[in-house]
Structure 1
């Protein structure tokens, strides 16, 4: 729905605080993440806006409310600066040699098939050589990004870009100081001598090959907009762990203290993952770097975290800088 509005040239904002307003159907409370479209000033004819709103209501299943006034009954008014202006996402996804093809394809599927949002698929040589200024969102799934020019990526983020990295891309982002994150190193296990035949079993026990975990989401954070419950399920197939950020507002999603919901994980990894970060947001200049330990688009059907991913795309640039320092 938001993309339909922005693609049509309609100015829209997102509510970063709840408010109660008088609608044509009575008073109603609007929560974090409500999309606001003012009658004016707009560059699009009012009739065209109304027609598009009708389309959104019918095709996207979104309830559209007409407010009687810009003054709220309770909470901030519609003209408040706390309602952040949205921008049309111009998205690029890294693909090709050096990038995990399944993860890139899953992200592409979510944009193209689920949301009908056009994206550009860029190989790593193209990212190195191309002008990235036409994009405001860059998605880096698992991959080897050592060939990318770090300064170019940093400059692009600093100019206002939103960089989304996940899984093995975190190591590159942390090492190059693009993301202000801390990855937790595996502990050395001094178990003494072991039988030769046990090597495969012992190594396999430390893998996380596909389990479901409990996590706690901050519903007031832009990445949490639209969720009704703070407890969500994460699918994980890697043993990479990320520390909670020093800034108390920069970790909107953490693994719960009792994290295992379904599947296998070793006792050692279970202790390690409890309370760690699933998402950390940091910044470079005017831009944001959103680091995720897991693939939010697993097989393009893990819808519980697909919303998290799309929130990063649409609302990442609205995240308060003070919460990321």
Structure 2
């Protein structure tokens, strides 16, 4: 609908602050060729006049949509919102919109992201884990689509990736428990076939070996990376009647469920059992859970930065490994005592 209000143009902004149209364009595009004083004048004029860029015209000139997609398996829990927040922060900083697509996980396998890309609606995509299978990623790469995979290795060099040091983090968790005097360390794992889960299990087993401890399959239970699964896995360990004085849980969601089950069973933490999680989500800080810190927000930020630079500057894809480290809290601290806490959520 035409409201009769004249659209503010680049020329209007230039006349208002006494510079050329091209200078205004350089400021909008964050060109380093504009000095700071001129940049401030132009930005003030843009704000005063209420100038809004004509993205459709700009898209025709640059052949870009200035939109990137991110595919996630879910938005629940403490992990995915942090990844999304980091990606959005970096995308906005660089002038891109972020289009979120949910696929994979418990949803039927879909091709939503691939359809969006084929319609030319985005300039590139961030793909979390296995939300897009390796074969589909190869096809996207062959179509010259710029892609960065998050929290999983890339199947081919043409696709960038941001990966977590899962093995090293799990190894550090077992070492930490051993240093706290634990000799029977149980493990609650993630789902079979999941890359993160497999690497964390491998780190657990290597940690036992390095600490001179025997691997015992009866000390391992699977929790599916969800809180209810962690609670059920802890109950399974208790019902087996096996003795354990340490518990490494492959993510914080499961660890919080496991802690509740242990405390409800009258097992004190850390006096009888020391517990370590993985990820360092916000709830872990709330309940006092010792955990392996993963820079979750930075996964999204680094992924978006790499993707934008691949789009804008032709940067070559690469693999960036995010480091992990132990954050000690009450659940393993000497003299500590963890109380029963029921955080919100399912």
- What is the TM-score normalised by the length of structure 1? 0.37
- What is the TM-score normalised by the length of structure 2? 0.35
Q: Is the radius of gyration larger for structure 1 or structure 2?
A: 2
Tell me which protein shows more strand as a share of its residues.
Answer: 1
